[in-house]
Amino acid sequence: MLRVVLAQPRGFCAGVERAIEIVERALVKYGPPIYVRHEIVHNRHVVEDLRTRGAIFVDELDEIPTGATTIFSAHGVARVVEETASRRGLAVIDATCPLVAKVHNEGRRYAAAGREIVLIGHAGHAEVEGTIGQIPGKVHLVQTVADVAALTVADPEKLAYITQTTLSVDDTRQIIAALTERFPAIRGPDVRDICYATQNRQTAVHELAKAVDVILVVGSQNSSNSNRLREIGAELGKPSYLIDDASALRPDWFAGIASVGLTAGASAPETLVQEVIEGLRRFGAIEVTTLEGVAENVRFRFPPELADSEPAEASSF
């Protein structure tokens, strides 16, 4: 009998739920097609489901017809993207996660006070590109403690840092410690910019690792927070695998083990978790339990243009 232990919390966070429902509400209110710049959230299954309903996902704004209804993804966009959309007469609905928008506001506030900004984050990630593009003035991107040692700034007395919302809490603390040691006058928010959902899911993996032999994380390969969950499991000495869905399960992962932990990144729907549970039954009898954990009840407001509308039907997720 294989014991399957579910992490709590896992899966969708409030920002992801809001972003997906923004697309659903827009499809009902304005009718398809609705254009979405980049993936609304980093999950292939979610994107494909919305595509079947009439959402068209594009990489750049020039792929969108003039005047079309356009949604910015949960990761946020640079100011130049907002300005381009305005010039082209696009009817924009902003699905940027409110916690990402909070980081943008902090960065602009520090820049307005004359401080150079250090952004702790992953190069090339959509959220990082959007954040850098929201802040006037110099933004230094650091990804590791080694990057801090190599940092060259104009004035060590006029620095501030902000962080990507989906980082490893433990890794970020180390980078912040390196920054404050090298630049004692630097200002910043400790790890408070790492979103509540990211922190809760990482804490749950720490607990999961104490109880199981192997850890499975349901999430897409381009999902930052899902990758962090897998990395944490591995750092805690447990074989850990990031999988899109049940089709990725391999029997050799479970040979000779008694228990497997199962969690999901903040952009992965619970339906995929349940499908993985069913997939595990292919390898024999299982017993499913759930760890105690934080119960999340956060909800974010919708953009005013969609506040009074509803999706035509409940999300398939």
Catalytic residue among 106, 116, 127, 129: 127
Residue 127 appears among annotated catalytic residues: yes
234 CA to centre of own chain: 20
Q: How many CB atoms lie within 10 A of CB 44?
A: 17
The Cα 238–Cα 260 span in angstroms is: 10
Q: Cβ(170)–Cβ(198) under 8 Å?
A: no
Helix axis angle, 14-30 relative to 44-53, nearest 10°? 10
H-helix or E-strand spanning residue 273: helix 270-280
Residue in 51, 35, 61, 47 with CA at minimum distance from that of residue 222: 47
The Cα 204–Cα 26 span in angstroms is: 34
Which residue pairs, CB below 8 angstroms and at least 24 apart, start in 54-62? 54/27, 55/23, 55/27, 61/37, 61/85, 61/88, 61/90
Catalytic residues: 127
